[in-house]
Chain A
Amino acid sequence: MPGPASQPKVRVVTFRVDDQDLSAREDETLIEVCREHRIPIPSLCYLEGLSVWGGCRLCMVEIVGQPRLAAACSTRVIEGMEVRTDTERLRRYRRILVELLFAERAHVCSVCVSNGHCELQTLAQRCGVDHMRMPRRPVSYPVDSSHEMFRLDHDRCILCTRCVRVCDEIEGAHTWDVMGRGSDCRVITDMAQPWAESETCTSCGKCVQVCPTGALVKQGTSVGEMVKDQHFLPILARRRQPR
């Protein structure tokens, strides 16, 4: 979340996360502060350098005195707040969220190009998800292989919208968008045309690099070969901020 261009005074607030006393600028979000202090918070839609989406809910934390859970990526720090990041309730919800993501589309890690380099796969292991308690939806989505360099496999998409945001906010092309509702929801290029026919796509490949799973990949990759590189993002994001 980029701050306003000229900021005369930003207050510093103090608060507690688990058992640590911390301080931060009041315009920082909980996830930023936790990342800075190496307090692990699972996340999928959040990516430093992109705007906040708040859709995956994996980053939820407990704030003492508040019955509702808060998404750490879209919650600013407040003076005196007391945050818990690793309670039994949170662990339970996170497991369910990850299981639902796996049950929703056809994730077959053993034959996926992203096997071994996938944020969803890693997260499942970290959250202790070793099976899905709900049956998988036996539905298959199409693959768009029309682009000469990249490929889109909806079966692996978790609808985090990172591709949409990086294309709009960093590349400035806005090729990607989201169409449909519920289980019909999917990412599209331009007006839901084949990717190769997109008039806005610059073939920069940023969407492929930020995609956390094997949904957006390079053509010609085989099992486990798709390794992503997101180092460019914070650098470009900083340069894009008004000075």
Chain B
Amino acid sequence: MNTPRLTVATAWLDGCSGCHMSLLDMDQRLIELSERIDIVYSPLVDAKALPERVDVGLLEGSISNADDLALARRFREHCRVLVSLGDCAVNGNVPAMRNHFPLEQVLARAYRENVTLQPQLPERGVPALRQRVVPIHGEVAVDVFVPGCPPSAEAIWQVLTALLEGRDPDPSAVTRFGA
């Protein structure tokens, strides 16, 4: 009766939270899932600290600022299997479109040129943007890539069940870039 439960941690870096919404979109399968996994760290739960050992880490979003990088590194350190969830994590997707312009130009566009009242660069309390946006595996090793914008609930379910059952997930069977 004692099927081992998987511990899962999730986070979103430079993403829109759509992949997390897709995860929640599993309807009644969420109940089944909750009987087999424990979400130990996530924007969806209250836990404030990433546990020492986690079975599966799901990262949504690309690495665009200093905090993204730090969190991606911590996930790599603490998670046995690290999953890039969604196109931003997998290939940079929309956040990486700013790579076509120098960072200074991007900041100027957002905070000076298009602003009418007190144009200024936000510096306090926000992490510094990095020169280039990179996918997760541009900075840390990733074990499973789940493309899609967002990957469907079905695709996430398939990947998670494969990991639960100790199989190698086959994301290309269920999702693709832009899905």
Task: List chain A positions with a Cβ less than 8 A from chain B.
Answer: 102, 106-112, 115-116, 121-122, 124-132, 135-136, 138-140
Contact = CB atoms under 8 A, between A and B. Distances in A.
Interface string B88-128: 00111110110110000000000000000000000000000
6 contacts: A110-B178, A112-B178, A125-B175, A126-B172, A130-B146, A136-B96
B172 A130 contact: yes
Contacts of A110: 87, 93-94, 149, 177-178
- Chain B interface helix/strand/loop/mixed: mixed
A120 B158 CA distance: 24
B78 interface: no
Interface stretch (B21-29, B63-71, B134-142): B134-142
Contacts of A121: 176-178
Nearest to A103: B91
B97 to A, nearest CB: 6
B172 A115 contact: no
Contacts of B92: 136
Nearest to B171: A130
A125 B176 contact: yes
Contact of B91 (A126, A127, A136): A136
A154 to B, nearest CB: 12
Contact of B100 (A122, A124, A126, A140): A140
A106 B100 contact: yes
Contacts of A138: 99-100, 132
